[in-house]
Structure 1
Amino acid sequence: MTMAMPQLTDATLELSERVALLTFCRNDVRNALTGTTLVDDILATLDWANRTPEVSVLVMTGEGAAFSSGGNVKEMRDRQGIFSGSSMTIQDQYRRGIQRIPLAMERAEIPLIASVNGPAIGAGFDLACMCDIRIGSSEAVVGETFINLGIIPGDGGAWFLQRLVGYQRAAELTFTGRLVDATEALKLGIFLEVTEPTQLIPRSHELASRIASKSPHAVRMTKRLMKHAQRGDLADFLDLCACFQGMAHHTDDHREAINAFLEKRAPVYAGR
Structure 2
Amino acid sequence: MTSPLTITSSGAVQTWTIDNQGVGNAITGLDFIEAFERAVHEANRSTEVRAVILTGAGKIFSSGGNVKEMADAEGMFGLDPRAQRRAYVDSIQRIPRALDRLEVAIIAAVNGPAIGAGCDLAMMCDLRVASEKASFAESFVQIGLIPGDGGTWFLPQAIGYERAALMTLTGERIDAATAKEWNMISTLVPHDDLLSAAMDIAERIAENPSESLRMAKRLLQESRTSSLETVLGMAAAMQPLAHLDPEHTVRLERWRTK
Q: Fold-level match, TM-score > 0.5? A: yes
Task: Tell me by how many angstroms 1:92 deviates.
Answer: 1.1
- Matched pairs, number: 258
Q: Tell me if the contact between 1:228 and 1:237 (Cα under 8 Å) persists in the aligned partners.
A: yes
Task: Tell me by how many angstroms 1:239 deviates.
Answer: 1.0
Counterpart of 1:88?
Answer: 82
Q: Deviations over 1:37-80 (max 9, x none)?
A: 32222111111111111111111000001000000111110011
Q: Deviations over 1:188-243 (max 9, x none)?
A: 01111111111100110010000000011110110111111112111121111011
Change (3 A) 1:8 1:254: farther
Identical aligned residues as a percent: 39
- After the TM superposition, which segments of 4 or more aligned residues of structure 1 sit over 6 Å from their partners? none
TM-score (structure 2 length as normaliser): 0.97
Within a 5 Å distance, the mapping from 1:174-253 to structure 2 comes to 174-253=168-247
AA of the residue aligned to 2:90: R
Q: Tell me if the contact between 1:8 and 1:41 (Cα under 8 Å) persists in the aligned partners.
A: no
Counterpart of 1:142?
Answer: 136
Within a 5 Å distance, the mapping from 1:61-72 to structure 2 comes to 61-72=55-66
| CA distance, structure 2, for counterparts of residue 215 and residue 105 of structure 1 | 21
Q: Are positions 1:166 and 2:160 aligned together?
A: yes
Q: Are positions 1:12 and 2:14 aligned together?
A: no
SS at match of 1:243: helix
Q: Tell me if the contact between 1:35 and 1:72 (Cα under 8 Å) persists in the aligned partners.
A: no
Within a 5 Å distance, the mapping from 1:107-146 to structure 2 comes to 107-146=101-140
Q: Tell me if the contact between 1:138 and 1:182 (Cα under 8 Å) persists in the aligned partners.
A: yes
Counterpart of 2:26?
Answer: 32
Counterpart of 1:76?
Answer: 70
Q: Tell me if the contact between 1:59 and 1:204 (Cα under 8 Å) persists in the aligned partners.
A: yes
Task: Tell me by how many angstroms 1:82 deviates.
Answer: 2.7
AA of the residue aligned to 1:120: A
Q: Tell me if the contact between 2:12 and 2:50 (Cα under 8 Å) persists in the aligned partners.
A: yes
SS at match of 1:15: strand
Q: Tell me if the contact between 2:55 and 2:109 (Cα under 8 Å) persists in the aligned partners.
A: yes
Q: Tell me if the contact between 2:17 and 2:57 (Cα under 8 Å) persists in the aligned partners.
A: yes
Counterpart of 2:99?
Answer: 105
32-41 vs 149-158, which moves further: 32-41
Q: Tell me if the contact between 1:21 and 1:58 (Cα under 8 Å) persists in the aligned partners.
A: yes
| CA distance, structure 1, for counterparts of residue 6 and residue 95 of structure 2 | 18
Task: Tell me by how many angstroms 1:36 deviates.
Answer: 7.0
Q: Are positions 1:56 and 2:50 aligned together?
A: yes
Change (3 A) 1:8 1:231: farther
- Where structure 2 has 5 or more consecutive residues not aligned to the other structure, the ranges are none
Counterpart of 2:250?
Answer: 256
SS at match of 2:104: coil
SS at match of 1:47: helix
| CA distance, structure 2, for counterparts of residue 200 and residue 41 of structure 1 | 24
| CA distance, structure 1, for counterparts of residue 2 and residue 206 of structure 2 | 24
14-23 vs 28-37, which moves further: 28-37
AA of the residue aligned to 1:112: I
Q: Tell me if the contact between 1:82 and 1:97 (Cα under 8 Å) persists in the aligned partners.
A: no
Q: Tell me if the contact between 1:70 and 1:121 (Cα under 8 Å) persists in the aligned partners.
A: yes
| CA distance, structure 1, for counterparts of residue 16 and residue 203 of structure 2 | 15
